[in-house]
C-alpha cells in the first residue's frame, strides 16, 4: 500500500471518527498529531493525511456544496458516514489538489468504498466523483 493510500485511510479514520463522535475534526486532528509524534514510522502517511484533513476543513462549504449539487437526491445526512468522508476526500483531491490526477482520486475512493462500505457505495462514489470531475471541466 502506497504512502498516499495509507494517508487517505488515516484521513478517512479522522473524518469518520469526528463524524461519529460528533466533535470538530480539528479536535481529532490534534489527537492524531500527538499520536504521530510518538510513531515516527508513520510520518510519511501523516503529512499527507493532515494535508487532506486541513484542506477539507478549509474548503468544507465548497466541498459539501459540490457533493449536494451532484449527488442527485442524496443529502449529506442521508449518506453513510464512511461514504460521506470518502467523497469529501475525493472532492478535495479532485478540486483542490492538482498533484493527484482525478482518475487516481476517484479510483482510490471507489476502492475504499468497496472494502469499507455498503454494496452500493462503490457505484455511488464513482458516479458522484466522476460527475464532479467532469463538471470541473
Q: What is the pLDDT of residues 26-50, one digit of tens each?
A: 899 888 888 877 777 777 788 899 9
Candidates 129, 130, 110; CA nearest to 120 is 110
User: What would the pLDDT profile of 45-104 be if each residue is shown by its tens digit?
Assistant: 888 999 999 999 999 999 999 999 999 878 899 999 999 999 999 999 999 999 999 999
Predicted TM-score (pTM) above 0.75: yes
State the total domains in the chain: 1
- Burial (Cβ within 10 Å: 0-12, 13-18, ≥19) of residue 6: middle
Instruction: Give the residue, 33 or 109, on which the prediction is more confident.
Output: 109
Residue pair 7/49 in contact by the 8 Å Cβ criterion: yes
Q: Which domain holds residue 93?
A: 3-136
Alpha helices by DSSP H, the chain: 3-21, 25-37, 43-58, 60-70, 81-96, 102-116, 121-136
Task: CATH number of the domain at 39, please.
Answer: 1.10.940.10
Inter-helix orientation angle 81-96/3-21, to 10°: 130
Amino acid at each position: 500500500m502506497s504512502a498516499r493510500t495509507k494517508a487517505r485511510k488515516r484521513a478517512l479514520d479522522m473524518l469518520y471518527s469526528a463524524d461519529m463522535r460528533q466533535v470538530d475534526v480539528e479536535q481529532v486532528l490534534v489527537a492524531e498529531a500527538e499520536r504521530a509524534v510518538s510513531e515516527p514510522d508513520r510520518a510519511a502517511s501523516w503529512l499527507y493525511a493532515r494535508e487532506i484533513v486541513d484542506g477539507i476543513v478549509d474548503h468544507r462549504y465548497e466541498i459539501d456544496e459540490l457533493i449536494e449539487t451532484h449527488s442527485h437526491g442524496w443529502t449529506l445526512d442521508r449518506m453513510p458516514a464512511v461514504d460521506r468522508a470518502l467523497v469529501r476526500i475525493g472532492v478535495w483531491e479532485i478540486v483542490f489538489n492538482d498533484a493527484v490526477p482525478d482518475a487516481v482520486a476517484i479510483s482510490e475512493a471507489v476502492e475504499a468504498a468497496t472494502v469499507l462500505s455498503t454494496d452500493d457505495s462503490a457505484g455511488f462514489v464513482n458516479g458522484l466523483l466522476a460527475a464532479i470531475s467532469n463538471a470541473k471541466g
